[in-house]
Structure 1
Amino acid sequence: MGIGLVDPILPALATQLHAGHTQVELLFTSYLVVTAVAMLVTGWMSSRIGAKRTLVIGLALIAVFAVAAALAGRIGGIVGFRVGWGLGNALFIATSLAVIVGSASGGFGGAIVLYETALGVGIASGPLLGGLLGTIISWPGPFFGVSALMLIALVATLVFVDRTPTPAEPSRLSEPLTALRHRSLRTTSLVGLLYNWVFFTLLGYAPFLMNLSALRLGAVFFAWGVLVAIFAVLGATWLKGRFGTARTRSTAA
């Protein structure tokens, strides 16, 4: 939910803080670039302090920097605090998927579907809540909303996620890059790069083109996220079983 919560208030943010579209888009650029780079070291860190501690640190960082962004008052400060937000996001996202895969009773495939479904539901409900908070409280509202959600997730992780032991042999920093020697993984990573590039271009810039209120923008992205969740659970599974993974991915692209 935290990924899309601030999306509906981007036009209002630009207007109220007298910022250009390029400056506002740096909210996504700084956040995502740091997330991408930091993900290269999350496995190394998790293998030394344990997955649960890594999750907790990531959630705490997001909660703190989301509040700091809400209190910044200037676009430059918000962009800067999004850097710390992106670091927390990297620690959480990469580690949470590993924990879900390791804990799921439905097997590896079921765990991935569960993860993608949660992502779709979050993308759906996040912008809707962000639009509501942006309408009621103005632009800082969604940032405070992100912090509150991350605190709830932090408590849930502490209470419900079992303590994960550290591996006998810690990961090396070079492992994510040396893994790219595998051709299929390298190709899939490149496809993922292009897909996410397009996805966040639409997510980040579309609000400026639709000329809608924050609440209506939230409703648009809510409908989009609902479809993501539905097709992640039903459509993707059925198409993969009928046509195979490669053909399904090619048709979707």
Structure 2
Amino acid sequence: MSGGPASGDVAPSAERIDRQLMRVAYILVLGTFMASLDATIVSVGVDALAEEFGASVAEIQWVTTAYLLAVVAAVPASGWLAGRFGGRRTWLVAVGVFLLGSVLCAVAWSVTSLIVFRVVQGLGGGLLPATGQALLARVAGPTRIGRVISVVAVVPLLAPVFGPMAGGSILSVAPWPWLFLVNLPIGLAVVLLARRHVPAVPPSTRRTAFDLRGALLLSPGLAVLVYGLTEVAHGRTLPAVAGVAAGLAMLAGFTVHGLRTRLTPLVDPRLFTRPPFGAAALALLVLGASVFGTMFLLPLYFQTDRGLSAWEAGLLLAPQGLGAAVGSVLVNRTIDKVAPRTLVVTGVGLILAGTVPFTQLGHQLPDAAIVTALAVRGLGMAMVGAPVMNIVYSRIEPEQLPRASGALNLLSTVGGSLGTATLAVVLQSRLSARGPDIASAFADTFWWVFGFCVLAAAGATRLPRTQAGKP
């Protein structure tokens, strides 16, 4: 393999961030960005897809839901796959599966086939963030991961912002298949660059059997729970109750199995009781609910109450992406100098401050206040994700990185999924209660987002005061 460092245990002794390491980081982050961006690009094209296939709203929403459920189902297996087959190989296969799903979606002939192909796409997309982060952490080593991960952590914050604008732009000049075909040139470039520059990290020396029983309980349990909450939002009582009850029962069963099994569980429940992983997990779970929940609520508010187009709504959301980019630079320069808890608590405080104005939407909040609040939220969100991941990655054995990364990404994904589904239920209830006062219904719902942030703050106060290896 030309252009990259030697394979093997590649943790460096030097702390310098060299050009090769940043090249690896940008290649891996491009793959993650492709998958994250596609999820929001397609959400903008739901109306066009419904018209193309003559589908009802209830049918076409499964184009988004199926992808989400596939992502949730795929994430738990990422740690085992990377440990068994190696990080780079798993990541490249995930890119290939995502691209295959993209091509199949572009040639779909019915809404049913499109939903099935979105599942294929989601399985690949779900593996990319966790395997990419674990691979990058292994290449960078514990002394450099903090600064490098700040580049990667900003991606989930930018994708929901730029997705609507990208989707609106594509549909203004090209037919709907290009919502999926746009992934091909990016994905092919990523594969070629990764094969040349990303080092091949060997599989774990501890070969463990795949936790089949755990997989049959955890992934379907999460998917069924998200499905149940989605049905609550649509007002379908029977499938909602059945989905939530079945999902919770399967997750409870997985927890019992994980505590009792002699095998290595897919996700070890005991991991969440070990400091600082438990506090980090809570912070990421609630942050995911806040970030993705807000990105669900605001475009809907802009388009239903203010009458903006998808493009205009995306443009109004752009300041959050700019704030996140500024925050990423700030974190990159301070993450090795400032206590992780200080960064995270400050970030959560900024998110809280940026959320308060949205609880006042019923008072005709001016655009300037919205733009400022989003920029503050973006700055705060960038100050949470990277430090939390740095805390975990710098304190864990290299061979455990894939499973830890899978667990963290699972929590972020589940937080986003459950948070969005919960806020959809709350919003539906408040719209019914408020009647024509749409803005006040959204304002009421944002108090729940504020509550999520308060929970994240509680978790952040339990993070370590010092960096790993320092008194």
* Interval of TM-score (by shorter of Structure 1 and Structure 2): 0.7 to 0.9
Q: Secondary structure at the match of 2:189?
A: helix
2:195 maps to 1:195: no
2:185 maps to 1:148: yes
Equivalent residue, structure 2, for 1:247: 345
Equivalent residue, structure 1, for 2:111: 75
Q: Secondary structure at the match of 2:289?
A: helix
Range with bigger deviation, 123-132 or 164-173: 123-132
1:18-71, Cα deviation, whole Å (9 max, x unpaired): 445454443333223322232211111111211111011100011010121122
Normalised to the residue count of structure 2, the TM-score between the two structures is 0.47
Q: Is this contact kept in 1: 2:146–2:332, CA < 8 A?
A: no
* 1:121 to partner: Cα distance: 5.1
* 1:213 to partner: Cα distance: 3.7
* 1:7 to partner: Cα distance: 3.5
2:76 maps to 1:40: yes
Q: Secondary structure at the match of 1:166?
A: coil
Equivalent residue, structure 1, for 2:134: 98
One of 165, 169, 176 as aligned partner of 2:202:
165
Normalised to the residue count of structure 1, the TM-score between the two structures is 0.82
1:184-240, Cα deviation, whole Å (9 max, x unpaired): 423432443333234334445654441444443443454432332222332697699
Q: Is this contact kept in 1: 2:154–2:325, CA < 8 A?
A: yes
CA distance in 2, matches of 1:119, 1:126: 11
CA-based RMSD of the aligned residues comes to 3.1
Equivalent residue, structure 1, for 2:448: none
Q: Is this contact kept in 2: 1:62–1:147, CA < 8 A?
A: no
CA distance in 1, matches of 2:52, 2:319: 27
2:109 maps to 1:13: no
One of 330, 340, 343 as aligned partner of 1:234:
330
Equivalent residue, structure 1, for 2:461: none
CA distance in 2, matches of 1:22, 1:241: 49
CA distance in 2, matches of 1:17, 1:92: 30
The one-letter code matched in structure 2 to 1:59 is: V
**Equivalenced residues, count:** 253
Structure 1: gaps spanning 5 or more residues? none
The one-letter code matched in structure 1 to 2:77 is: V
CA distance in 1, matches of 2:296, 2:63: 9
CA distance in 1, matches of 2:111, 2:292: 20
Range with bigger deviation, 105-114 or 210-219: 210-219
Q: Identity over the aligned pairs, expressed in percent?
A: 22
Give the structure with the larger helix fraction.
Answer: 1
CA distance in 1, matches of 2:313, 2:50: 15
Structure 2: gaps spanning 5 or more residues? 1-32, 212-264, 352-452, 454-471
CA distance in 2, matches of 1:84, 1:95: 17
Q: Is this contact kept in 1: 2:150–2:331, CA < 8 A?
A: no
1:160-205, Cα deviation, whole Å (9 max, x unpaired): 2122211211356415223223254234324433332343344456
Q: Which of structures 1 and 2 has the bigger CA Rg?
A: 2
* 1:76 to partner: Cα distance: 3.1
